[in-house]
Amino acid sequence: MYPRLEIDMKKLKSNVNNVLEVAEKNNIEIVGVVKAVNGIREIVEVLIECGIKTIASSRLSQLRLIKEINPNINTYDLRIPMISEVDELVECADISLNSNLEILEKLNEAAKNQNKKHNVILMLECGDLREGIYNEDEMLDIASTVENKLDNLNLMGVGTNLGCYGSIMPTPEKMNELIGKARKIEEKIGRKLDVVSGAANTAFPMVARGKLPDGITQMRFGDCFYVSDLDECFNYVMFDEDQESFKLQAEIIEIYDKPSHPIGEIAVDAFGNKKEYVDKGIRKRALIAVGRQDIGDCMHLRPLDKKLEIMGGSSDHTILDITDCDKEYKIGDIIEFYLMYENLLMSCQSEYIEKKFIY
């Protein structure tokens, strides 16, 4: 069945182990993030086999599954909890990232009702402008309230998020800013924090290059286990293409020579976008049966056949220019791609894409 996602478990395992080796050299704990792969059971099992003790997601159903697979794994909720989910969260997550007192109070109540002590990490704003406490006085107040008044919460530490909304690079300076904030909280509450959680994937090159300041104890990594897509921006190759463990396969359903510029009055595409079309004359075009509903933005796909060009697509189709390819493609042939983050995220959760595990 196609479209299909082929997942090479041996390569995946070796990519995870390489990340863990770098982490060990730098004396940091790795929280293994599975949200980009929809918490797929087989992948969670690989992370556990590799020795990862704490596994994170933003979706509670995935955390619940992790607990089912192995109740000894610490589950870690990445998204600030919704008030409407605090009861369920306390049930299936051991640790959660938080940024405000309203929700922390609700979490504390939920933990009290379940006779549990729930671990929290306070997210601090360091410039990427997604979640996190911005004002330092508020930060100290919230930390001290959690420490002294919310008896069913354990203030485990602090963290920050970079490189997501604001595209801010995780640098040693940003890490030192976070460590500085952690020290102020420690002074206020009169004890050391267990966790200073630096950043996500985009911080891997900094860690690998030995530039991570002392004082960061933890990183939350997922993407860098799964795809090597840091190359362009971060000038860092996670692993070579032949070590990619995820491969998308889709089937050709039409091949025709057609003009490259649409014919008629140009309005907007299926998603309401105004687009520019380049006229390259008549080209050989192949249509494959996979689209934005399955993979998100098809322009992020990385074809294995380097002579093939992605022209665009719509919900169910992706259009390829195969004029310059050496291979004589025919209808029914399978085209293969490596993925970027968005394609991985979408294809792992798509019920229309078969997952094939290769052992």
- Interacting residue ranges for ligand PLP, rule: CB under 6 A: 33, 35-36, 58, 78, 97, 161, 200-201, 220-223
Of 95 and 150, CB closest to ligand PLP = 95
Of 207 and 252, CB closest to ligand PLP = 207
The residue count of the chain comes to 359
| Spacing of C-alpha 340 from chain mean position | 10
Of 12 and 78, CB closest to ligand PLP = 78
Q: How far is the CB of 305 from ligand PLP (least distance, A)?
A: 28
Q: How far is the CB of 265 from ligand PLP (least distance, A)?
A: 42
The Cα-based distances of 343 to 5, 91, 154, 175, 225 in angstroms read 11, 31, 37, 29, 15
Pairing of strands 309-313, 354-358: unpaired
Per DSSP, the three-state class of 152 is coil
CA distance 306 to 235: 21
Q: How far is the CB of 333 from ligand PLP (least distance, A)?
A: 32
Q: How far is the CB of 121 from ligand PLP (least distance, A)?
A: 10
Asked if 66 and 55 count as a contact pair (C-beta separation under 8 A), the reply is yes
Residue showing the smallest CB distance to ligand PLP in the complex: 222
CA distance 52 to 20: 8
Q: How far is the CB of 347 from ligand PLP (least distance, A)?
A: 14
Query: Which candidate in 10, 13, 25, 35 is catalytic?
Result: 35
Pairing of strands 318-321, 282-288: antiparallel
Of 197 and 318, CB closest to ligand PLP = 197
Neighbours of 261 (CB within 10 A): 11
Structure tokens at 201: 């994937």
The Cα-based distances of 209 to 6, 26, 216, 234, 348 in angstroms read 31, 10, 15, 12, 31
Of 75 and 161, CB closest to ligand PLP = 161
Residue 260's identity, in one-letter code, is S
Confirm whether 35 is a catalytic residue. yes
Catalytic residues: 35
